Amino acid sequence: MTRMSSRAVAAAFLVLAVAWPLLASAQPAPSMPPPSLPAAAATNNSRLEKAYVALQALKRAITDDPKKLTKNWCGPDVCNYFGVYCAPAPDDPCQRTVAGVDLNHGDLAGTLPEELGLLSDLAVFHLNSNRFCGSLPESLRSLHLLHEIDVSNNQLSGPFPSQLLCLPNVQYVDIRFNNLCGEVPAAIFDKKIDALFINNNHFEFSLPDSFTNSTASVIVLANLPRVSGCLPSSIGDMAGTLNELILLNSGISSCIPPEIGKLDKLTVLDLSFNNIAGTLPDTIGNMRALEQLDVAHNQLAGEIPESICELPHLKNFTYSYNFFCGEPHRCLEVPRIDDRQNCIAGRPDQRAGEQCISFLHQPRVHCDAHGCIAPPSPPPPPPPVHAPPPPVY
């Protein structure tokens, strides 16, 4: 997901006067703060008075500010605080209000106070790459105009922040690289959001049926080894919006359903470091936008379909550490491939022959109607043993 430039950020906040919900992500530039109210005027604005309470509570909750980002957080003129951005209120253009808080990469330590819920007009909340701990405040559920929340790369803990489910306008959710744990509510995949990053936490859940209801363009569930479940055949229902799907190292045991070929807008598909078995469906050759495909470190076998290697935009195809036994010559023309540690005759750095033979003698993988790996059929029972007739005397 591409971030806006600092100049585009300033323009976005000016647009708020007309189209508040269209606010997009922003990296603030200290040299280009939006115009602020005089201190005297700020005290006559109830929105800014509440913002003052909220931001002062945040300042008190910060225990370490090595870059002195909040040094000028003094007095009621909150629109002049570093990292705080004001814009005309969506329901009253004559009043200004706090529309964004962006303290990314501040190395700030502390907790997030409940008073943040007073920032009722907040559209952008960026705190990534800091050292905030504890949980997200419950009061965030009142931020009904919030468009984007990024609290990634912190030390947040506790369960999945269910407050996010209450935000009707949120489009960008980034909570990756924290210490969050427990279940991920299935309802998050029903929300009309554009990007969902929950990777590198300690969540433990199974891919719900609602997974394919998501309208997101980017979904990253990487490095969540306690995830379970299967890639459902309904994955093709995500074709209208899905652009990147990254499920690497997510504990998934599954086949790859042929319906995945319906994802004709997908540019990145990463299923590596899982327990995916069976074969690569040749329907992947229908994914004409695909640029990167990674299925390494799985239990895939059979031959690589030539249709995949003929994809017009494919730049990186990684299928190492599987048990593929053949690849078309066309695959060697992909700009970057990695076919190591398979069972492909004539290619360098392949598995030992004994490994390949042992794998081929295992029961063939079958997938059930849900895309899950079906348990192997039990061996047939031995024929009944008939006792010999008793001797006749």
Band (pLDDT 50/70/90 cuts) for residue 79 is very high
pLDDT per residue over 81-108, tens digit each? Answer: 999 999 999 999 999 999 999 999 999 9
Domain membership of residue 391 (yes or no) is no
pLDDT per residue over 261-270, tens digit each? Answer: 999 999 999 9
Contact 223, 244 (CB under 8 A): no
* Residue 371 pLDDT > 80: no
Range in 13-22, 104-113, 118-127 the model is least confident about: 13-22
Domain membership of residue 9 (yes or no) is no
Q: Which residue range forms the structural domain that includes residue 141? A: 46-361
Q: How large is the average pLDDT for residues 133-139?
A: 97
pLDDT, position 379 = 54
Domain membership of residue 25 (yes or no) is no
Domain membership of residue 322 (yes or no) is yes
Q: Give the DSSP per-residue string, 309-371.
A: HT-TT--EEE--SSEEEE--GGGGGSSEEE--SS--TT-SS---HHHHHHHHTSPPP-B-TTS
Looking at residue 311, which CATH number applies to its domain? Answer: 3.80.10.10
User: How many domains are there within the chain?
Assistant: 1
The SS3 of residue 269 is strand
Q: Give the DSSP per-residue string, 122-153.
A: --EEE--SSEEEE---GGGGG-TT--EEE--S
Average pLDDT, the chain: 87
Domain membership of residue 135 (yes or no) is yes
Domain membership of residue 17 (yes or no) is no
* Residue 34 pLDDT > 60: no
Which tokens sit at 37? 């109210």
Domain membership of residue 57 (yes or no) is yes
Domain membership of residue 14 (yes or no) is no
